[in-house]
Structure 1
Amino acid sequence: MGLRCSVNTLHAFLFSDFLHKPVWMWLVFLAVVLFLLILDLGVFNRKDHEIGVKESLLMSVFYIGIGLLFSLWVGKILGQEKAFEYLTGFVVEKTLAMDNIFVIAMIFSYFRVPRIYQHRVLFWGILGVIVLRGIMIGVGAKLVSEFEWVLYLFAAFLIYSGVKMLFKQEDEADIGANPVLRFIRKRIRVTRDFHGHSFLIYRTNPRTGHKFLYATPLLMALIFIEIADVIFAVDSVPAVFSITTDAYVVYTSNIFAILGLRSLYFALSAVISKFHYLKYALSVVLIFIGAKIFVSEMLHLVKIPPAVSLGVTLAILAAGIVVSLVKGDKEA
């Protein structure tokens, strides 16, 4: 009885803010996402194959188009202001998640995941992201609704993250020394080689005849990609809550941005290093979003409309891309 009460309390805590919107709105969103996932694995990538740059770009344009079309639907149902908030959250999340591409590339390299199986890992990783982001956004929405000062805490964290990003030196993480990897290897049997696109396999002990379940390196890569997603969500979730406290807008903009970025990975992984100054532009965006909360909500000096916020965000990121391309050409 006690356990059932605890589960019900947790469910109410996480999802009470989500249910402020009609259930049919959530069903529409989930139906679109489910359709995209079925289309992805069941049609476009039914057979394992290496995804080239052209295919990656076409899939990305398709996903971005769906994300932008959804903003029109948000505007029609919730109003123009919510649509601009959705678009700002979509752009910020998409840009923040680009850093994740470096980490994903490192994980695939460390576990030597063949390119033919990389999309499968990223696809199943999306399912984990949908659940984990839902939990984190549910907690965040409830905290913001119950304790207004949490929003200022998010804003301060964004300013701190932005300033830290400005001065942070690039360094490569040593995945082999990661304590999570050591913990898993001590407690789970892991094969040295791949077995097609399988995450788990059974092996028979030749002496006893007993079967034992083994994880493959593909599953290890998936686990680490999910961990990376949780770490990056620590920045992205407060960022979107600083743009809007509407849980529906926060969650949908997060998921649509991530869905498209996974497809874009195969094109960006080779060229993302050229956009060196995008990191600095993103840090300025984080500082701007965090400062906006203090200026408009806490000090009541000026209310920055969502359309203006979206315009400033796009202008800063565009400047980072242009400077990266110009500086990159000169250095080359």
Structure 2
Amino acid sequence: MDQGTFAAPLWAWAAIGAVIAVMLAVDVLSHRDNHVIELREALIWTGVWVAAGLAFGVVVWLGWGGEPAIAYYSGYLLEKALSIDNVFVFALLFGYFRVPAEYQHKVLFWGVVGALAFRLVFIFAGAELLHRLAVAGFVLGAFLIWTGWRLAVRGEPDVDPERNVVVRLFRRMVPTEPHYHGSRFVVRIDGRRRATLLLLALVAIEATDIVFAIDSVAAILAITTNTFLVWTSTAFAVLGLRSLYFCLAGLLRHFGYLRYGLAVLLAFAGTKLILAETPVGKLPLWLTLLVVVLTLSTSIGWSVVAAHRERRRQAGP
């Protein structure tokens, strides 16, 4: 079955919505005491989320065939890879706002809920745009190629919240306390409700993630415009973002060359979108999955080898 010819029934959308809601509920109940997430716990939860994402790919394969399953796994791997770039930005934002370690999971939880909502809107809007306007493929393709180039040549991303339009607008419109009040997002002071610094950190993360959402959704739409496959691959990848952050936040320096791999994937996705609107047509899904796997493997391996050589150089003879 071609990945673009099947339409998921309404019960499938309802079922996956219920599964996501249950997974979010289990996660928030497991961390309701606002404790510091240690590496062992983060690794366990990362394994749970990855297993859930891979298992759903099997469900897609059993229900709709190999082609949709390949499209799902390609989108899942691409979103997962792009999430690593999110982790780096989130670490910078947490450092900027000095968010206490015990409250970081709560901020990331609600950040993920917002990320899922934004991506769902972008998925349907992007798919409809590609369906109705042939020129949209060229525009989105060019945008992804430009995004890949920018990612390859930039240094550290500029995430200064003081320059973020959404954060500045929020500060102007909402009375904000420049302090933390435990894990509360809102407090009442002198009879007036005021946002805490924790809520401002959440707003900064959501505002920053919108840019990542546009990039990642456009890249996955280059793989398939089937909204069910795009949504499920995106959702299962994003659901593990919190545990991935606590696994990788202290290890990101070992993945210095990963951004070049992500840049290649974004440029490849853009090229794929453009070619789909030409006589060349859509590239085969097996080729997309192969490019994603090889690019990620090469960039991660390159990063690990380079980091090992740097440690040996610093250690001296």
8 Å contact kept, 2:75–2:223: yes
Give 1:242-257 correspondences, 5 Å limit: 242-257=222-237
Match of 1:298, SS state, is coil
Give 1:18-33 correspondences, 5 Å limit: 20-33=7-20
- Equivalent residue for 2:197? 217
Match of 1:21, SS state, is coil
How many angstroms apart in 1 are the aligned matches of 2:148 and 2:100?
Answer: 35
1:57 paired to 2:43: yes
Match of 1:140, SS state, is helix
Higher CA-based Rg: 1
- Equivalent residue for 2:315? none
Letter matched to residue 21 of structure 1: A
Match of 2:223, SS state, is coil
How many angstroms apart in 2 are the aligned matches of 1:94 and 1:139?
Answer: 22
1:132-178 alpha-carbon deviations (Å, 9 max, x no partner): 11111111111112123312322222222222322223354322343
* Change beyond 3 A, Cα 1:182–1:308: closer
1:314 paired to 2:300: no
How many angstroms apart in 1 are the aligned matches of 2:162 and 2:77?
Answer: 33
8 Å contact kept, 1:151–1:241: no
1:189-223 alpha-carbon deviations (Å, 9 max, x no partner): 2112222211111112xxxxxx1001011110111
Give 1:123-142 correspondences, 5 Å limit: 123-142=109-128
Q: Which runs of 4+ in 1 moved over 6 A?
A: none
- Equivalent residue for 1:4? none
Q: TM-score, normalized by length of structure 2? A: 0.91
Q: Mark the runs of 5 or more structure 2 residues left unpaired by the alignment.
A: 312-317
Q: TM-score, normalized by length of structure 1? A: 0.87
1:284 paired to 2:271: no
8 Å contact kept, 1:188–1:214: yes
How many angstroms apart in 2 are the aligned matches of 1:154 and 1:193?
Answer: 41
Letter matched to residue 99 of structure 2: V
Q: Mark the runs of 5 or more structure 1 residues left unpaired by the alignment.
A: 1-16, 205-210
Give 1:153-302 correspondences, 5 Å limit: 153-204=139-190, 211-295=191-275, 297-300=277-280
- Size of the aligned set, in residue pairs, is 307
- Equivalent residue for 1:326? 305
